[in-house]
Amino acid sequence: MAAYLLDTNILLRSSDNNSPWQILADTSVTQLFTENHQLWITSQNIIEFWVVATRPVNVNGLGWSVKKTLAEIEQILNQFPQLEETPQVFFHWLNLVTTYQIQGKRVHDARLVAVMLAHGVTHLLNLIPMILVT
């Protein structure tokens, strides 16, 4: 049994009935549940979900209302446990961004990896290939 952090794109695609990736996201999560893997989220996932869900469609968002977004987030929070924010997360993040010279939007992805490192989570479920450092 492995521990997986669910990337925000999995949560978004799974919640979006218009996404061509919805079935893949749902099937992947279901398969991991069936195999008794641990599935986790972070507060950062929820924040990123809110940003994309409430952003207008014409700027690559879902264009959802606050009410709809909150309802989806409540479902996510009921379905997946959250990894705690600990002081170690910041120090892992700082080490990652300085060691690998990470800049711009990618610092958010590095923070998810930092949460994983702080909690010993070994896998990330993502729809986009990603290189993880250990």
Q: Rounded distance, CA 17 to CA 20, Å?
A: 8
Candidates 130, 83, 128; CA nearest to 110 is: 130
Say if 69 falls within a structural domain.
Answer: yes
Say if 132 falls within a structural domain.
Answer: no
The residue segments making up the domain with residue 110 are 3-125
Question: Could you report the average pLDDT of every consecutive run of 10 residues in the chain (134 residues)?
Answer: 96 95 95 97 97 96 98 98 96 98 94 97 84 49
pLDDT at 129: 54
**Structural tokens at position 24:** 């893949």
Say if 91 falls within a structural domain.
Answer: yes
Say if 131 falls within a structural domain.
Answer: no
Burial class (CB in 10 A: 0-12, 13-18, 19+), 97: middle
Q: How many domains does the chain have?
A: 1
Say if 64 falls within a structural domain.
Answer: yes
The pTM of the full predicted model, rounded to 2 decimals, is 0.91
Say if 109 falls within a structural domain.
Answer: yes
**Structural tokens at position 104:** 């711009």
Candidates 61, 67, 82; CA nearest to 16 is: 61
CATH of the domain at 95: 3.40.50.1010
Contacts of 106 (CB under 8 A, 6+ apart): none
